[in-house]
Amino acid sequence: MSEISALQDQLKGKGYRKSSFRENILTYLLKSSSPLSAKEILDSLEADNLFPNKTTVYREIEKLLKERLILEIDLLDGKKRYEIYRTNDHHHHAVCTSCGKVECIDMANDLDAIENQITSKTKFRVESHVLEFFGTCAQCQTISRVC
């Protein structure tokens, strides 16, 4: 079964009805190599000749978040972004401050050691973290060399 219908089925079991908006949104998120904002999702839908109200998009996001089908990402530019939630795929992002491109960054042991260190030193129980990198992507480094 395709990944998209598996996700739809997950929702059907919980009282949600079929919605082609939702189906499309999940498709965009599955296909995208970087997290999408509400606006980008709306634009994608319009590119496919679907014109939902923005409220619908926000509400869809809300449902998908609630059911843990997607993950909310904050890349510090004032809008939230979303990507498909996959267990065992905790990763971070590298955002190019020149062109805005977002790359995913996988880290071997992630921050387990650091989190444990914090918990033992400060008694603060770390439950999650946010780690994003900012800099210049390979391509933009080339361009700036030329200029």
Binding positions for DNA, rule: CB under 7 A? 15-22, 37-39, 51-56, 58-63, 78-80
Q: How far is the CB of 20 from DNA (least distance, A)?
A: 6
35 binds, among DNA, a copy of itself, none (CB under 5 to 8 A by kind): none
Instruction: Decide: helix, strand or coil at residue 73.
Output: strand
What is the rounded distance in angstroms from the CA atom of residue 78 to the CA atom of residue 9? 33
* Tokens, residue 35: 């997290």
Q: How far is the CB of 56 from DNA (least distance, A)?
A: 3
Q: b/e per residue, 62-72, with b = 16+ CB within 10 A?
A: eebeeeebbbe
52 binds, among a copy of itself, DNA, none (CB under 5 to 8 A by kind): DNA
Q: How far is the CB of 105 from DNA (least distance, A)?
A: 22
